[in-house]
Amino acid sequence: MTLPGTLIIARHHESEWNKKGMWTGTRDVHLTQYGFEKSNEMGSLLKDMRIDNAFASMQVRSIETLSCMLNTLGMYHVPAQYVHALDERDYGDYTGKNKWDMKEAIGEEAFDHMRRDWNYPIPNGETLEMVYNRVVPFYEEVVLPLLVDGRNVLIVSHGNALRALTIYLESVPTEKACDVEMLFGAVVLYQVDSEGRMVQKDVRTVSSEVPA
């Protein structure tokens, strides 16, 4: 059975550290002016939708993106909640380091495994599996009941948090985690079944150039 509510997910747009090619992780960094402009455009992608509930991480770049989207839609009444479960992956000792310098230092293969794999460790940080284990329970316990009630839910979060959620939504085998990507400027609408798994998917995008 397809649930009556629609799940909508979006990645925050360009932050000041995205622009510099730095791993942000759990650090609080604001959007750039470009990020604000593109977040407004992302809101325009949902002009045909009613938003009943909204969620973002506790990190300011996610909150700013959500605010821009709702402001563009004129949906000032939508209840918005900010939760740690949707925070970006903790990059531990790599936080604040330049990604491309790190790629040179450790080599392309190790770099790709570290960024994309399901259970590749980061010193004092999180694996994608660890992110999954906090994002999915939040989705099941908080978001899914809203979808059952016919409410349309917008989630604005981060690349790895949304990769983790996508793995659940689309029943992606963990060995294929490296193939899952959440692009900047993309807004994805899901119709899901009673288990919260994808039945139908609609991807809407704005043109985006982010060095991340």
Average pLDDT, the chain: 96
Q: Answer whether residue 152 shows pLDDT above 90.
A: yes
Q: Answer whether residue 212 shows pLDDT above 80.
A: no
Name the nearest CA neighbour of 65 among 159, 133, 181: 159
Q: Which domain holds residue 190?
A: 7-205
Annotated catalytic residue, options 14, 41, 64, 88:
88
Decide if 12 is catalytic.
yes
| Residues of the chain above pLDDT 70, percent | 100
Decide if 41 is catalytic.
no
Confidence (pTM): 0.96
Residue 174 counted as domain residue: yes
pLDDT, tens only, 3-49: 999 999 999 999 999 999 999 999 999 999 999 999 999 999 999 99
Annotated catalytic residue, options 12, 13, 64, 126:
12
Residue 152 counted as domain residue: yes
Residue 179 counted as domain residue: yes
Q: Answer whether residue 158 shows pLDDT above 80.
A: yes
Residue 149 counted as domain residue: yes
Give the integer Cα–Cα distance in Å for 66 and 35.
Answer: 12
Residue 45 counted as domain residue: yes
Number of domain units in the chain: 1
CATH at 92 = 3.40.50.1240
